[in-house]
Amino acid sequence: MIPDDVVSPLPSQRALGDLVTDVLREMITGGRFQPGQHLKETELAEALKVSRGPIRQALARLEEEGHVELRRHRGAFVSTLTRTDVEEVHTLRGAIERLAAGRACTRMQGAGFAEMDEVLEQMKSVDTKIDPEDAVRLDLQFHDIIYAYCDHSRVQRVWESIRGQVTVFLRARNASFPDFLEVGYSEHKELRDALALGDPQAAQDGIDKHILGAYERLKRLNLPDR
Amino acid sequence: MIPDDVVSPLPSQRALGDLVTDVLREMITGGRFQPGQHLKETELAEALKVSRGPIRQALARLEEEGHVELRRHRGAFVSTLTRTDVEEVHTLRGAIERLAAGRACTRMQGAGFAEMDEVLEQMKSVDTKIDPEDAVRLDLQFHDIIYAYCDHSRVQRVWESIRGQVTVFLRARNASFPDFLEVGYSEHKELRDALALGDPQAAQDGIDKHILGAYERLKRLNLPDR
DNA sequence: CAATGGGTAACTGTTTACAATCTACAGTGA
DNA sequence: TCACTGTAGATTGTAAACAGTTACCCATTG
């Protein structure tokens, strides 16, 4: 058995289309493209040094995730975030995370809570550093744990399909309400304790409260109606 | 302005890939392919007289809907329905339909309930004819109305992604429990009345009860664990 | 000046063909 | 029997070309 350290990682065992999807998603959520911008397959293919096939695959996925809008014979356009999107993402997320938490709270055992506590520790220390991007990363990491332990492939998939947009919201929130960095820890700690009761009902109530709070804050953002 | 009634619909402005998706989905859920069967892109392309492009697009979608399993460099395999699948689909459906019903009950107004009553009328008369396929169609139609009126594109999309598998379950249920055809009407009538109260909480409770009942029945089916 | 209609350019949708890559499986040898 | 090797078959990735459509410009018309 050869240790992992000495083997140089192979070019990529993932499908090219998946890689392209990740790259484009990051470029969109990272603000490298303007909302409404026309993404042309040929240009993207040239820029990323791949053919149009993987590009089309990626754009189809990004459309499912709501990052681009596909218009027949017109192409892909970067989505504009509307008030409706914020509402839909939050209500849907509330519905599935409620389910996820109810299942996860009885499956996380020690290991899951250990992972959570590690994230919480970092959240506490972030208060002093105040790097918004770290706050976003930790927030997502915390919730990823819930989805990982809920043991439900379909719920996980739905989460992945809205995760990118949630990321955008979190960034927008941090940009508009920098004071949130301070309450991030306490809110998540509260949710962790609710899960730790091991009672699905308590876990679900905890999620309802948590997601609702996030939504209420975000609603104060100034977004176009459509 | 020319009214919609007089214009004949154009040949088909849908993408070929979408058509292929529908055809393949129907073939799989209709039992034309054996579970576990290896679907080869080239064969499908030849059979449907299209190129591999649309086939790949269709297989990617069907994988998201859980009808086929895609193994890298191996191809597509028709999914085998397991006990886990039944559980996942029902719990996820419960979560989103709960949300959908809470929203729909205040948005359906007269028109929505009129549509529902029409479906209910047909359900009542099905009792005498006993065509299982009609029962499946009406059951789906009833719930489609809830999703249509919930005014939530993302929830609708999730529903579409599991709708095919729900169809499979309904068919299996009717095959194993033909007596269900008789209680179908009353259960849906009960749900309709809960929605008619216009109270989101009551609507959600109605859904919980309805979906749970469906799940309990289906669990009695003899399915492989995985 | 607004509305109509032709024409064009650009892009996507689809097909075809080929190269690269990977998996499974049978065969080989110890 | 076990591990390794090689090959066949299949899929993925790439490339090029054509067809269909859309948007836009612009001259024409009333």
Report the distance separating Cα B1 and Cα B17, nearest Å.
Answer: 32
* Out of A45-59, B84-98, B116-130, least confident range: B116-130
Neighbours of B190 (CB within 10 A): 13
**CA angle A111–A115–A121, rounded 5-degree value:** 140
Distance in Å from C12's C1' to B9's CA comes to: 22
Please name the residue of chain B whose CA is at the shortest distance from the CA of residue A159: B158
> Could you give the 3-state DSSP secondary structure of residue A161?
helix
Strands of the sheet containing A68-71, edge to edge, are A38-39, A75-78, A68-71
What is the model's pLDDT at position B208?
94
Report the distance separating Cα A86 and Cα A160, nearest Å.
Answer: 16
Residue A69: strand pairing partners:
A77
- Residue B65's identity, in one-letter code, is E
Domain architecture of chain A: domains with CATH: 16-78 (1.10.10.10), 83-219 (1.20.120.530)
What is the model's pLDDT at position A96?
98
Token pair in block for residue B214: 């469906």
pLDDT in tens, A184-219: 888 999 999 999 999 999 999 999 999 998 888 888
What is the model's pLDDT at position B126?
65
What is the model's pLDDT at position B11?
46
Report the distance separating Cα A40 and Cα A52, nearest Å.
Answer: 10
Residues of chain A with pLDDT under 70: 1-13, 126-130, 180-181, 222, 225-226
What is the model's pLDDT at position A126?
65
pLDDT in tens, B2-54: 454 544 444 446 788 888 999 999 999 888 888 889 898 888 888 888 988 88
- Chain B 180..209 CB hits on strand C (< 7 A): none
- Residue from A199, A26, A191, A95 nearest B152 by CA: A95
Q: A-chain residues within 8 Å CB-CB of B153?
A: 88
Please name the residue of chain A whose CA is at the shortest distance from the CA of residue B150: A88
Report the distance separating Cα A171 and Cα A158, nearest Å.
Answer: 21
Shortest distance, CA B200 to any CA of chain A (angstroms): 14
- Residue A159's identity, in one-letter code, is W
What is the model's pLDDT at position A226?
61
Q: A-chain residues within 8 Å CB-CB of B103?
A: 91
Mean confidence (pLDDT) of chain B = 87
Q: A-chain residues within 8 Å CB-CB of B92?
A: 96, 99, 152, 154-155, 158
For residues A77-94, one letter each, b for 16 or more C-beta atoms within 10 angstroms of the residue's C-beta and e for the rest, the string is bbbebeeebbebbbbbbb
- The answer to whether B174 touches B136, Cβ cutoff 8 Å, is yes
Q: What is the DSSP letter of A130?
A: -
- Residue from A206, A184, A200, A189 nearest A117 by CA: A189
- Residue from B91, B118, B27, B200 nearest A154 by CA: B91
What is the model's pLDDT at position B188?
94
Query: Strands B38-39 and A75-78, how do they pair?
Result: unpaired
Q: Is the CB of B16 under 7 A from strand C?
A: yes
- The answer to whether B157 touches A88, Cβ cutoff 8 Å, is no
Strands of the sheet containing B68-71, edge to edge, are B38-39, B75-78, B68-71
> Could you give the 3-state DSSP secondary structure of residue A34?
coil
- The answer to whether A161 touches A135, Cβ cutoff 8 Å, is no
Token pair in block for residue A44: 């993207």
What is the model's pLDDT at position A10?
40
State the alpha helices, DSSP H only, in chain A.
16-29, 41-48, 52-64, 83-104, 109-129, 132-149, 153-176, 180-196, 200-219
Which single residue is written with the structure tokens 């209500």?
A91
Token pair in block for residue A59: 């754009």
CB–CB of B66 and A94 under 8 A? no
